[in-house]
Structure 1
Amino acid sequence: MACTTILVGKNASYDGSTIVARNEDSSAGQYNEKRFAVMDPKDQVKIYKSVISKVEIELPDHPMAYTYMPEADLSNGVWGCYGVNEKNVSMTATETITSNERVLGADPLVEYKKAEDGKEEVKGGVGEEDFVTITLPYINSAREGVIYLGEILKKYGTYEMNGIAFQDENEIWWLETIGGHNWIARKVPDDSYIVMPNQLGIDYFDFEDAYSDKKEFMCSEGLKEMVEKYHLDLRMDPSEDFNPRHAFGSHDDSDHVYNTPRAWAMLKYFNPKKFRQEEISPEDDDLYWSLVPEKKITINEVKWVLSNHYQSTEYDPYTRDKSSKNKYRPIGINRTNVLGLVQIRPYVKEEIKALQWMALASNVFNAMIPCYTNITKTPEYLGGSFLKATTDSFYWTNRIIGALADPHYHETSAEIERYQIAVNNKVNEMINKFDREFEDVEKDKQKEFCEKANQEISDFTQEETQKLLDKVLYIASNQMRNSFSRSDA
């Protein structure tokens, strides 16, 4: 899927948490409802079968419980998106990334081929549909997640290029698939943040570390041999650092309107002085993969960045100057399904360290709320499976608000902003209160406490979101083209 990801190391975040966030954006013209769910270990399948690739995988015994964000309509697969398991380990799935013909010729993608013309069916590899379900319940750390998924890729391959984040309290690892079976992974520096806009992003790789201590780099065991055999290394001087982006990535004209401008917008926000000094362009091919931010990064700033539509620039689709609007693909796009953010906090009890934040539908017009993950059930407003538009669903209410507000952006923006501020303020207040109260909760009541806390957050959010819908509907109704100033009153 066309997505945008940001990773924040623990020393770059405002409170020492690791933060991983991703917009899951569907393909053009598609809108996929997501719901907040939790998988009981007894309900985890033993034999997993992919809808897209038809591959069948026997899963290990003793899975952990985990939260995830599946599709409401499971006919196309689970698409777990992101979540947290019992050990407070999180993963995303996936940032669809790009590659080039040299890589895909050397290690072709493992694509499904149906039986036809007398030929037998050929099952494909694994992909975004599958990764959370077959990985998250079985890993005990971010590092272990990389190794575990690496073995799956070695055995089954993948039919697409993927970028996947693994996160625990101390570390974040970013894995990128290279062709059908190979992969690289790099630990996110603790003092830095990473931006990923649908491109292969890692711009430095240390093969020596990856093939020895694996302190900050890991890769598939045959990757170095593949690089040499198929002439993937483009360095003029072998003594220079190896750049995976040059060897494995793409450099297409489409990158300059679809991918790099998003990286530019995020990096420019967190490092404005650097970007002013270096005069970096939205179409630069060598934008930074990681940077130390100029100040520590907050949750609300991550939400703002993942809602960005090039505000205060000529590229803003809502600008009244039409010369350059819609030139670049915005981060905050109409077809976002969910903004999923996981914050793993080192300063609270183990049972409530992980907060799973979510914002549904187009981020320009929504607000992001947190939920505890130490639970057995989710609120109906967040977790119900509604296949048709309804105001009983957080996703659908936000989708309706966005569609109504978008053509009346300037008239509704003040109401949207008031709603976002009110929700931001209140949910942070509520989490602080619940964290304090949790200190006195007995062990056997902890899950029940977290579920009640999530329900309170959901109820508040539902009330505020309905109020916003009422206001936006009123404004949009007054702006209808068949309006007429005279009435019978």
Structure 2
Amino acid sequence: MACTTILVGKNASYDGSTMIARNDDSGAGKFTAKKWVVMEPSQQPRVYRSVLSHVEIPLPENPLRYTAMPNAVKGEGIWAAAGVNSENVAMTATETITSNARVLGADPLVTFEPGDEHTPEKAGGIGEEDIVLLVLPYIHSAREGVERLGSLLAQYGTYEMNGIGFQDVNEIWWLETIGGHHWMARRVPDDQYVIMPNQLGIDHFDFEDALGAQKEFMCSADLRAFVEKNHLNLNQGDAFNPRLAFGSHDDSDHTYNTPRAWALFRYFNPRTYRWDGPDADFTPVSDDLPWSLVPEHKITVEEVKWALSNHYQGTPYDPYRKHGDKSLCGTYRTIGINRTSFMACLQLRPYVPAELQALEWICYGSNAFNAFVPFYANVDKTPAYMNSTTAQVSTDSFYWASRMIAALSDAAYSYTSSHIERYQNKVAIAGHRLIRQYDQRFMDTKDTTLEEANEAIAEMLRRETDDVLDKVLYEASMHMKNAFARSDA
């Protein structure tokens, strides 16, 4: 899947939380309906069989409860995508990333091979369809997430290149797969943030730490030998840059991937480097953009939402640009693209009791037009407005309501943008207010449940969403091409 990921260390965030967030984008020409659900231990299989690759994997006993964002329409498997378990450990999976022929020739992807009357089928490895279900219910820290997924990759392999984020209240780890069976992971520095745009991203790796103390790095046990045997180190001197060794260097990266990272680094670090003009340190086509930076100010959840909604506002590349030279409009793939299925920002707050720590900020559909709302993750069920998505279009579903708002608003952008801005702001304000209110009620009296809190948040969300849908439907209807000024009266 084409996605964009942001990882924010606890000392880079506004309130000391760790935050991991990802746009889950469908492939070109597709829209994948999603729903937010809770998976109870009794619902977790004890032997898992992948729909796409047919791999069968026995699972441990005693799984944890966890939230998930699976596909709403059956067919290609679960694709649980993102969630938080009952131990306040979160993950997002996956960011599709890229590699090169040297790596894939040395360690081929483990692909499914259908059988026939003469040959039995050959199962493939694991992939985005499977990873959350196989890992999240069994881990008690972000580090354990890396270790469990690493062991599964070594045993079963993978049929695709992916990046996966793991998070607890103290740490964030980022794992990238390398070929069919190898992997590496790096701890996000507490005072930094990471932007990942569908490319292998880690630009520095310490083998001594990864194969020793594992304070900041982890990897496959044989990764260093794999690099040496297959002549993968392209650095001059003693340094090792895994992006050069394992990543891609394609022309298409310069229209699809690197501009997204450039746009967000430019926002969070406007004075750290020169981002524009003939003397720019980095441009939209720079292959050496940093993996992480210390932001010039601490990052809020609203900025994460804005970043993952970005369509190059303030640059010549904005497809909605109205003034000046429009020749570059739409040059680069936007972050807030039309085919986003959902975005989740998983926030683990260190300053409240464990029951309240995990918030999932969720929105569906194209982020340029949707609203971002927080829900408590430590619950046994989710509101119907968030989990009732089916193949049928319905305003009773936040997913479908968001899709309709986006399509109507895009078609009449000049007339609807003010309604969208007010809607997004009203929902954000109400979301913060309700979380503060229910945090305090829970800590003071415990006279309510977190499920009741989520229902109140969902009711607010439905009310505001219905209201803006009415407004943008009116604007889009008034500006249809067959409109005419003279009344029939």
Fraction of identical pairs, as percent: 59
Per the alignment, residue 31 of structure 2 pairs with 31
What is the alpha-carbon distance in structure 2 between the residues aligned to residue 276 and residue 231 of structure 1? 35
Question: What pairs with 1:214-363 in structure 2 (closer than 5 Å)?
Answer: 214-237=214-237, 239=238, 241-276=239-274, 278-320=280-322, 321-363=325-367
TM-score (norm 2): 0.97
What is the alpha-carbon distance in structure 2 between the residues aligned to residue 441 and residue 286 of structure 1? 53
What is the alpha-carbon distance in structure 2 between the residues aligned to residue 231 and residue 249 of structure 1? 14
Per the alignment, residue 479 of structure 1 pairs with 479
Question: What pairs with 1:85-100 in structure 2 (closer than 5 Å)?
Answer: 85-100=85-100
For residue 276 of structure 1, give the secondary structure of its aligned residue in structure 2. Answer: coil
Per the alignment, residue 440 of structure 2 pairs with 436
- Contact 2:124 2:158 (8 Å CA) reproduced: yes
For residue 473 of structure 2, give the secondary structure of its aligned residue in structure 1. Answer: helix
Per the alignment, residue 108 of structure 1 pairs with 108
What is the alpha-carbon distance in structure 1 between the residues aligned to residue 424 and residue 233 of structure 2? 47
What is the alpha-carbon distance in structure 1 between the residues aligned to residue 79 and residue 331 of structure 2? 30
Per the alignment, residue 16 of structure 2 pairs with 16
Question: What pairs with 1:60-459 in structure 2 (closer than 5 Å)?
Answer: 60-116=60-116, 118-237=118-237, 239=238, 241-276=239-274, 278-320=280-322, 321-442=325-446, 449-459=449-459
What is the alpha-carbon distance in structure 2 between the residues aligned to residue 441 and residue 449 of structure 1? 11
AA paired with 2:216?
E
AA paired with 1:323?
S
What is the alpha-carbon distance in structure 2 between the residues aligned to residue 441 and residue 182 of structure 1? 50
AA paired with 2:410?
D
Which digits, 9 at most, give the CA deviation of each residue in 1:432-487, with x for residues without a partner?
Answer: 11111111345xx7xx6100000000000001001000000000001111111112
Quote how far apart the aligned CAs of 1:120 are.
1.9
- Contact 2:389 2:400 (8 Å CA) reproduced: no
What is the alpha-carbon distance in structure 2 between the residues aligned to residue 150 and residue 96 of structure 1? 17
Quote how far apart the aligned CAs of 1:94 are.
0.1
In structure 1, runs of 5+ residues without a counterpart are none
What is the alpha-carbon distance in structure 2 between the residues aligned to residue 46 and residue 169 of structure 1? 28
What is the alpha-carbon distance in structure 1 between the residues aligned to residue 485 and residue 44 of structure 2? 60
For residue 339 of structure 1, give the secondary structure of its aligned residue in structure 2. Answer: strand
AA paired with 1:415?
H
What is the alpha-carbon distance in structure 2 between the residues aligned to residue 276 and residue 113 of structure 1? 49
Quote how far apart the aligned CAs of 1:259 are.
0.1
What is the alpha-carbon distance in structure 1 between the residues aligned to residue 244 and residue 104 of structure 2? 14
Quote how far apart the aligned CAs of 1:236 are.
2.0
For residue 274 of structure 1, give the secondary structure of its aligned residue in structure 2. Answer: coil
AA paired with 1:102?
R
What is the alpha-carbon distance in structure 2 between the residues aligned to residue 408 and residue 274 of structure 1? 37
For residue 177 of structure 1, give the secondary structure of its aligned residue in structure 2. Answer: strand
TM-score (norm 1): 0.97
In structure 2, runs of 5+ residues without a counterpart are none
What is the alpha-carbon distance in structure 2 between the residues aligned to residue 287 and residue 441 of structure 1? 50
Which digits, 9 at most, give the CA deviation of each residue in 1:85-140, with x for residues without a partner?
Answer: 01000011100000000000010000001013732211000000000111100000
Quote how far apart the aligned CAs of 1:407 are.
1.6
What is the alpha-carbon distance in structure 2 between the residues aligned to residue 66 and residue 74 of structure 1? 20
What is the alpha-carbon distance in structure 2 between the residues aligned to residue 13 and residue 31 of structure 1? 32
Q: CA RMSD in A?
A: 1.0
Quote how far apart the aligned CAs of 1:276 are.
2.7
- Contact 2:209 2:216 (8 Å CA) reproduced: yes
For residue 209 of structure 1, give the secondary structure of its aligned residue in structure 2. Answer: helix
What is the alpha-carbon distance in structure 1 between the residues aligned to residue 117 and residue 255 of structure 2? 41
For residue 165 of structure 1, give the secondary structure of its aligned residue in structure 2. Answer: strand
For residue 356 of structure 1, give the secondary structure of its aligned residue in structure 2. Answer: strand
For residue 474 of structure 1, give the secondary structure of its aligned residue in structure 2. Answer: helix
Quote how far apart the aligned CAs of 1:322 are.
2.9
For residue 151 of structure 1, give the secondary structure of its aligned residue in structure 2. Answer: helix
What is the alpha-carbon distance in structure 2 between the residues aligned to residue 477 and residue 235 of structure 1? 58
Quote how far apart the aligned CAs of 1:388 are.
1.4
Which digits, 9 at most, give the CA deviation of each residue in 1:298-347, with x for residues without a partner?
Answer: 00000000000000111001113430111100000000000111000000
Quote how far apart the aligned CAs of 1:373 are.
1.0
Which digits, 9 at most, give the CA deviation of each residue in 1:413-436, with x for residues without a partner?
Answer: 001001111111111011011111
What is the alpha-carbon distance in structure 2 between the residues aligned to residue 431 and residue 319 of structure 1? 36
AA paired with 1:283?
V
For residue 420 of structure 1, give the secondary structure of its aligned residue in structure 2. Answer: helix
Q: How many residues align?
A: 483
For residue 412 of structure 2, give the secondary structure of its aligned residue in structure 1. Answer: helix
What is the alpha-carbon distance in structure 2 between the residues aligned to residue 230 and residue 22 of structure 1? 33
What is the alpha-carbon distance in structure 2 between the residues aligned to residue 224 and residue 117 of structure 1? 42
For residue 273 of structure 2, give the secondary structure of its aligned residue in structure 1. Answer: helix
